[in-house]
Chain A
């Protein structure tokens, strides 16, 4: 072939390629210019969240906003029920790629350290006037939303608090008290919880006292961390303290004891068999931060209404979980996105989410609102959740979570599951646990 003809062929291919590229790009270009020029045209703000059951509980809040704001329409999508291993990797890829992330994104506490260390990806909310919201939040919730550059990048949604959920019908069959006051008296501390478990297990064959190792592990860790300098796996300079922090060892030891006594159903939290067991009565108790109520009611369904109830947790208060909302820098509508974020993290958004998903407000004005304080959860036999969680979060201590908290958490919890299921021996468990944590942090 002559050179001339080769260039013809190449020319054809280049043209074809250009046409393909143009076709791909054609969609985005007019949309972005429209958003920049004409504010009168309705703007769609994508709100992306995660979570099982009722997740963030924004359906009602979004409906209300959309009715009142014809120019800014919220499109609310809950992307997945899994945070660490589905939502977060996807979010990071989209941040890196520069497109595809929502205009407002939900972030779980486990990844706040990671994302605070990446200020380049998020809009400075201070530029949109949200700096004024400081008085609305407890100091810890606010500080976590400030990134490595000292800019505000995320505002708090819910807060965990801590209670213990229990299966009333299973308790009755095992001859244990069912009234939530009496149940609370049954377990003032974890030792009493263990004894009650043994009693339950002696009377029950086809159900276990607790789900698996990791829900209780997280509950105890949340209680112990404030007693040890408010840190869990990392200290405040992001050094791994997993091996030396007594909070971690204490939590580990308790879980090991429960497992050795045969009190666990050996289930892995947030998997289909676990969900099935919540519904089918596979276990009797489970640590319950406020958001867990939404997970349970979502998983157990209407047929189990009244079977689950809520009592005080052994060992006092603590915080497990809770989330934030942020605006990625790649958004085409930072101003409108910040407005939506301001609404959802505002008093009304918090209250709506609490009603819908049981997610307890971190917003102080919302907490003080009589509507929250007086709210009862119908699904759990009208338990006064407002009163219980208000008390639970009152003296809450902020726990620092390092940049690689999510990775370390996943790795060490795997070892606990292995120990519970018998793949890791009880003797080796602690050394494997610390080794896994060190590797994940490295």
Chain B
């Protein structure tokens, strides 16, 4: 903030300050802290405390409503050789890649289209945001219906061209496609709007100059729009990373029951589901806490990779 507060004369401390002055000083100096404190207080209660408590739990063999004993790092050593955990990590990253890449590409194309002079532009722009307003659960329920084996719309359409009904939940590839579709349907429009906002800040004269030099619309898109959008694209990737690595609702609803196993052999069990399964299906709170902490570390690594990526883009510009 650049707002100058009242100058703080040193001698003010020395004198005995009358109550009004004191209130005024408190008003200036104390109140801002008071006003920002609810956030930090809530963050401490719902953010920091659970983080620390989870770490504490992860060092125990802690059964829900059962025995508790300190075991040190045993949960972690068990976890890093647990094939089911790494399967969950693989699924999470796989679904993330499968959903994010088409999503960013589509969002770019969509934003580019919406940036043109179109009839009813405002309506169209509002339209792409519409999926975001619907609840995740509603989206997942509808899509699970569309991807149903017996009476699903997609299988019916595939049937028209002679393809046998697919049990979407049954294979990794098919379940990942189904879940990625749900994610993309909901988030592509949102990213498109962010990219569109960034596109509108690109100076028009760049395009005019390029047009004068004879650059086609396609060349303009690749040589001007994309480079100018890089920071925004990185931001969008950031947001998608956090969302992607904590993916939970879509695969749970897609499974159709709350067992958290992500299919019969864990075809689409994400790390978040793995944590819930350990904690509230097998009642091993300690093991679940350790998995939650590893997920936290994974997200840190992902974010660090992105940060490194951002720095590189900044340098090349």
Contacts and interface: CB of A to CB of B under 8 A. Distances in A.
Interface of A: 1, 5, 8-9, 12-13, 82, 84-86, 89, 92-93, 95-96, 117-118, 121, 266, 268, 270-273, 282, 407, 410, 414-415, 417-418, 421-424, 432, 440
A12 B34 contact: yes
Contacts, number: 86
A273 B150 contact: yes
B283 A85 contact: no
Contact of A92 (B29, B64, B256, B260): B64
Nearest to B266: A414
Contacts of B260: 85
B64 A96 contact: yes
B204 to A, nearest CB: 50
27 contacts: A5-B30, A8-B26, A9-B34, A9-B37, A13-B37, A82-B257, A82-B258, A85-B260, A89-B64, A89-B280, A89-B281, A89-B283, A92-B64, A93-B280, A121-B65, A266-B167, A268-B257, A272-B256, A407-B281, A417-B264, A418-B263, A418-B264, A421-B169, A421-B170, A424-B264, A432-B265, A440-B282
B230 to A, nearest CB: 42
A139 to B, nearest CB: 28
B267 interface: yes
Contact of B264 (A5, A12, A273, A423): A423
A410 B281 contact: yes
Nearest to B167: A421
B41 interface: yes
A1 B265 CA distance: 60
B66 interface: yes
A12 B26 CA distance: 13
B133 to A, nearest CB: 25
B74 to A, nearest CB: 13
Contacts of B37: 9, 13
A423 B257 contact: no
A273 B280 CA distance: 24
Interface in B47-84: 64-66
Contact of A414 (B29, B171, B264): B264
Contacts of B103: none
Interface residues of B, number: 31
A423 B170 contact: yes
Contacts of B169: 421
B110 interface: no
A297 B67 CA distance: 41
A93 B285 CA distance: 11
Contacts of A84: 281
Contacts of B89: none
Interface of B: 26, 29-30, 33-34, 37, 41, 64-66, 148-150, 167, 169-171, 256-261, 263-265, 267, 280-283
Contacts of A415: 264-265
Contacts of A273: 148-150, 256
Contacts of A272: 256
Of B37, B265, B280, chain A has the most CB atoms within 10 Å of the CB of B265
Contacts of A9: 30, 33-34, 37
The list of the 6 closest CB pairs from A to B, nearest first, reads A418-B264, A89-B280, A96-B65, A92-B65, A417-B264, A418-B265
B259 A422 contact: no
B256 A85 contact: no
A423 B265 contact: yes
A91 B167 CA distance: 34
B296 to A, nearest CB: 22
B226 to A, nearest CB: 41
Contact of B30 (A1, A266, A270): A1
Contacts of B264: 414-415, 417-418, 421, 423-424
Nearest to B281: A85
Of B29, B33, B65, chain A has the most CB atoms within 10 Å of the CB of B65
A95 B34 contact: no
Contacts of A440: 282
A424 B265 contact: yes
B257 A270 contact: yes
A240 to B, nearest CB: 15
Nearest to B22: A5
B173 to A, nearest CB: 12
B170 A85 contact: no
Of B171, B261, B282, chain A has the most CB atoms within 10 Å of the CB of B282
A414 B259 contact: yes
A423 B41 CA distance: 48
Contacts of A282: 150
A89 B65 CA distance: 10
A417 B266 CA distance: 12
B267 A423 contact: yes
A277 to B, nearest CB: 8
B291 to A, nearest CB: 15
A430 to B, nearest CB: 15
Given A273-B256, A421-B170, A414 B261 contact: yes
Given A268-B257, A272-B256, A422 B170 contact: yes
A432 B267 CA distance: 15
Nearest to B145: A272
A9 B40 CA distance: 14
A2 to B, nearest CB: 8
Contact of B256 (A266, A271, A421): A271
Contacts of B258: 82, 85-86
Contact of A118 (B41, B66, B267): B66
Contacts of A270: 257
Contacts of A417: 264
A76 to B, nearest CB: 23
B276 to A, nearest CB: 9
A12 B33 CA distance: 12
Contacts of A92: 64-65, 283
A85 B259 contact: yes
Nearest to B256: A271
B257 A1 contact: no
A207 to B, nearest CB: 11
B65 A118 contact: yes
Contacts of B257: 82, 85, 268, 270-271
A41 to B, nearest CB: 32
Contacts of A118: 65-66
A415 B282 CA distance: 16
Contacts of A271: 256-257
Given A1-B30, A5-B26, A423 B171 contact: yes
A138 B150 CA distance: 44
